[in-house]
Amino acid sequence: MELNLEDKYSQFRGEVRSFVDKEIAPFANEFDRMQHLPEKLIEKLIANGYISSMISKRYGGGNFDNLEIAILNEEIGRGCSATRSLLTVHGMCSLGLQRWGSEEVKSKYISDLASGKKIGAFALTEPTAGSDAKSIETIAELQGEYYILNGTKKWITMAQIADIFLVFANCEAKPTAFIVDKNTEGLTIEAMNDLLGCRASMIGKIHFNQCKIPRENIVGRIGYGISHVAMTCLDYGRFTIACGCVGLAQASLEESIRYSRERKQFGKYLKDNQLIQRMIAEMIVNIKAARLLCYNTAILKDNIDPDSVMETWSAKYFASKILMQIVSDAVQIHGGNGVSPDYNVSRYYRDAKINEIIEGSSQIHEILISRHGYKQY
């Protein structure tokens, strides 16, 4: 079931799926081993307009609606979670700037983000502050026409290749957002390699040592960092990750069906084993449920419905939870081959755990969804 989507969405899905099957999926294991995305792939994402899908046409972006964004991230996520993460963090940076940046700072950066001339990243998390974003320790102090930035950010996706960062720091003891160029004096980037999953996401630490940030590079106002800017970005991040989880679950299903059709044990194909059939049935139903949650969220977002925020939480929570079960079953179906790097499900399993943690772990989602439930009912 696809909510009776218009033909244009089916056509769009076909175009993206074809791109993924040609340019991403066959090489995703290689990306994982190399721990970076090839420049040529990024250029193709830019050329197809995928990198700017979330940016308004006013600034040269693709201005996709949220159903198109859902389908795009689902299909890219089906091919490679690390590639999908580029779209996510570039979008988070772009939307934060588009929504809350001054016209001066937007004219300085956003057209380059839309064209792909510059890659954006989102820098909130710190060594001692993750889900508790209000506990950030990075400091920004105004000195003349510059803010002086000191601190460290960690687990920053695409830090190794990003050109600009949307950075959050305490200014006058209030969380505040700034746009920071990677070439700023005193800014250094430390690569973080050999992580469990999403290894091509080019994650890194960013160190700020007396970095001078032009006064006009503040995004929003002092104190708007978490409540306004970050919330806009994180809502988009959770939505695209949820859709990406659906795509990765779909890939796990397709690999499991393919393998169970070909593999024989005890004189019969795995597909004829009722225990395998149960796993496949649960995969199919849970994927449909997660996809519908994501598409419902997309429709609410397009209708500017305030319920879209909580529906985004629900979609990300459910999609990432069922993904872990689905990839676990996919590995089980593959048996010993499931833990071999020669089979895609091994990477899927590692990437799935990352998706369950980022942009709010399952436990954080449980707290917020239950609190909303108590208020609502």
CA distances from 201 to 73, 102, 280, 300 (A): 15, 30, 30, 29
Question: Using an 8 Å Cβ cutoff, are 263 and 239 in contact?
Answer: no
Q: Which residue type does 371 have?
A: R
- d(Cα 55, Cα 125) in Å, to the nearest integer? 24
Q: Which residue matches tokens 């590079």?
A: 217
Residues paired with 142 in a beta bridge: 147
Q: How far is CA 205 from CA 11, 90, 357, in A?
A: 40, 17, 18
Instruction: Name every residue whose Cβ is closer than 8 Å to that of residue 186 and which is 6 or more positions away in sequence.
Output: 149, 208, 209, 210, 211, 212
- Decide if 359 is catalytic: yes
- Which of 23, 74, 255, 359 is the catalytic position? 359
HSE-CB at 83 with a 13 A cutoff on CA atoms is: 34
Quote the CA–CA distance of 139 and 145 in Å, as a whole number. 16
Could you count the other beta carbons within 10 Å of the beta carbon of residue 110?
A: 26
Q: Residue ranges of the alpha helices (H) in 80-150? A: 81-100, 103-115
Q: Could you tell me if 298 and 71 are in contact, meaning their C-beta atoms sit under 8 angstroms apart? A: no
Catalytic sites, residue numbers: 359
